[in-house]
Structure 1
Amino acid sequence: MGCRSFSFIGVIVSLFFASFAQNLQNDSARISLDALLQKYAYKALVRPHTGILYKASHPANLSGMEASVIRLRSGTFWVRGANVSAFLFPPRIISEPFVKRFSIVLQNLGNWSSNYYSVPGYSLVTPVVGFRFYDSSNLSSNAIASLSLNVTGDPISVHFPQFLLPPGSNWTVRCVTFKVDGTFSLANITLPNVCFTRNQGHFSIVVEQPKMNVTKVRRLKKLWKWWVIGLVCGFLGLVLVCVVAMLVVWLTRRKKILKMEKKADQGESFKTIWVGPSKMPSAAVTRTHPVLENEYAP
């Protein structure tokens, strides 16, 4: 019974830590995807012309995704900005650190969006699109550095196609920004199908799931949390009880041994003699005097 309890608790604890490991694995998968799409996008930059958008070719197992790249001069971009694909970059944006030429890698994850990005309590209603800035001063370099942005003027606008809301009414539609560090933020939509950002990353439009479902999910998550905490505490308590029980058994045996030793010390003591190299107890020899059957002695 004890072994079964330990096994069951071990499975629950493993599931708890597996959820945490899954989040780390998802972050790693997104980072790997960005690096892969950047790699294929830069392969399209063969004798590139400034300001021309090049579509990247990628393996068949990434079918449904789109990646493209454009190479720009920092000075021109600062003055004029750029209108590229679904993104409108206004003037007064500069890369950090500053480079003379940079590239923007644009992504549209299409039907892969929900495999890499999600928002608890919300559903994606548009594909996830994104962009990243990279140094392209030397396209022959094996190490391509990513760049940060400093948007000093108007924010960057992200334009999405028309989308249909799920059946029902009173849906809460919001913009979501998935940041480079793995976190996300929600914002209200001020223009139809348009989101705004001052940071690079990935973007989508989401709708809040029905309140009843959200409440139920939160209750289940809370119940699951306390259940796991209770099982972990129970496991630790069981271990503590086992340790205390083993200690009591050891003390009981030790007490019996001490009692036996005390009784042995109070009994008859024996002299010791040496037998070879060993010292051994020896009882004193007492001769039994003979008793005659009659008093006559010859």
Structure 2
Amino acid sequence: MGYKNIITVMFYLSLVFLFSFISSSLAMGSRAYDSIVFDEFVREYAEKAVKRPRTGTLYNISLPSNYSGVEVSYIRLKSGSLWNRGRNSTLFMIPKRISPEPYVNRVDMIFQNVGNLSSFYFDVPNYTFVAPVVGFHVYGADANYSGLDGSRMVTFRLREDPIVVRFPSISLGENDNVTMKCVRFGTDGSEVEFSSVTAPNYTCNAYDQGHFSIVVPSLPPPSMKKRKKRGKVWLWLIIGGGGFISLILSGILVFKMLKTRKIETMVKESEKSEALDIIWIGKSKMPSASIIRTQPVLENDYFP
């Protein structure tokens, strides 16, 4: 294998490793992106489904069949009504003395129970969901309102009590002896905040909109521990073997490069000298002088 071929192989291996790194990085951020797209889709779908919402009326929205198991409800409220009475729904208890920022006269609130698609749109590394992801978002409903970032989303400002998040079901399974944690996903889908679960009702306290759930630390089965140990041994063997092969390839590459440079130097030196003819003797190629440079001359012209 020529050194050019070796360089080509190493170049393609580098591309493979780079592609793997980029793919893993994209995979980590893909769910956060998908959750944002999902929220925007739900908002637009809810507004199209209810052309002229009546203030204070809760509408249950039926999503397309590919979102089976996801529950969405939509309500338009006056900001003054929220301030005086709050809002108590199946999933969220929004307290009194709460106001939108920036202030608008009316707000559209969209509630979600992501259900069996929770793990598709959201992920907490090293944790397992024991409750479905639920969430709510608040949008300004005033005519032609658009926030500073070009969207209609507004935030809530709490004056007294926090928002109480309820969950339709909690399934602990074999994780009944582990500590549960509340988790909140920010509006961009990537920010994750942990807090304590409020006993005995298994609720969470929230201070802003977003998505919420309850998680527990992931516990791998006992058989997986042995597999992990074996996997680590094989990983080190693969890394060691790969490093050894890379060292050999690097040595061959350096040797070929030095040899090539030496041959190039010899060729350049030969080009500086007087050119000689080439003759073949058997299977060997050898230089040959075409003529004799110096003619033989007798020391004197005397012949006996």
Q: What is the TM-score when the length of structure 2 is the normalising length?
A: 0.72
Larger gyration radius, structure 1 or structure 2 = 1
**1:171 aligned onto 2:192:** no
Describe the shift of the 1:222–1:19 C-alpha distance in structure 2 as closer, same or farther (beyond 3 A).
farther
Matched residue of 2:208: which SS?
A: coil
> What is the letter of the counterpart of residue 210 of structure 1?
L
Describe the shift of the 1:51–1:22 C-alpha distance in structure 2 as closer, same or farther (beyond 3 A).
same
1:251 positional shift: 2.6
Q: Which residue of 1 aligns with 2:267?
A: 257
In the TM superposition, 1:64-83 aligns within 5 A as 64-83=69-88
Which whole-Å CA distance do the structure 2 matches of 1:29 and 1:10 have between them? 27
The equivalent position to 2:152 in structure 1, one of 139, 142, 145, is 145
1:226-275 per-residue CA deviation (whole Å, 9 max, x = no partner) reads: 9999899899978976875565244313320343245439x9xxxxxxxx
In the TM superposition, 1:24-173 aligns within 5 A as 24-138=29-143, 145-167=152-174, 169-173=176-180
**1:202 aligned onto 2:207:** no
Describe the shift of the 1:4–1:207 C-alpha distance in structure 2 as closer, same or farther (beyond 3 A).
same
Query: Is contact 1:125-1:163 (8 Å) kept?
Result: yes
Query: Is contact 2:76-2:106 (8 Å) kept?
Result: yes
1:221 positional shift: 10
1:50-77 per-residue CA deviation (whole Å, 9 max, x = no partner) reads: 2211111321111111111111111221
- Unaligned stretches of 5+ residues in structure 2: 277-292, 298-302
Query: Is contact 1:135-1:145 (8 Å) kept?
Result: yes
Which whole-Å CA distance do the structure 2 matches of 1:217 and 1:139 have between them? 59
Seq. identity, % = 34
Which whole-Å CA distance do the structure 2 matches of 1:183 and 1:223 have between them? 35
Query: Is contact 1:151-1:198 (8 Å) kept?
Result: yes
Describe the shift of the 1:24–1:250 C-alpha distance in structure 2 as closer, same or farther (beyond 3 A).
same
- Unaligned stretches of 5+ residues in structure 1: 268-283, 289-293
> What is the letter of the counterpart of residue 183 of structure 1?
E
1:80 positional shift: 2.3
1:33 positional shift: 0.7
Query: Is contact 2:32-2:122 (8 Å) kept?
Result: no
Matched residue of 1:163: which SS?
A: coil
Query: Is contact 1:177-1:201 (8 Å) kept?
Result: yes
> What is the letter of the counterpart of residue 105 of structure 2?
K
Q: Which residue of 2 aligns with 1:273?
A: none
Matched residue of 2:53: which SS?
A: coil
1:219 positional shift: 8.1
Deviating more after overlay: 162-171 vs 235-244: 235-244
Query: Is contact 2:31-2:120 (8 Å) kept?
Result: no
Matched residue of 1:176: which SS?
A: strand
Which whole-Å CA distance do the structure 2 matches of 1:75 and 1:217 have between them? 59
Q: Which residue of 2 aligns with 1:189?
A: 197
Matched residue of 1:30: which SS?
A: helix
Q: What is the TM-score when the length of structure 1 is the normalising length?
A: 0.74
Query: Is contact 1:74-1:100 (8 Å) kept?
Result: yes
> What is the letter of the counterpart of residue 187 of structure 1?
S
> What is the letter of the counterpart of residue 199 of structure 1?
D
> What is the letter of the counterpart of residue 161 of structure 1?
P
Which whole-Å CA distance do the structure 2 matches of 1:262 and 1:250 have between them? 19
Describe the shift of the 1:184–1:221 C-alpha distance in structure 2 as closer, same or farther (beyond 3 A).
farther
- What is the CA RMSD across the aligned residues, in angstroms? 4.3
Matched residue of 2:183: which SS?
A: strand
Aligned residue pair count: 276
Matched residue of 1:255: which SS?
A: helix
Which whole-Å CA distance do the structure 2 matches of 1:197 and 1:185 have between them? 10
Which whole-Å CA distance do the structure 1 matches of 2:248 and 2:171 have between them? 54
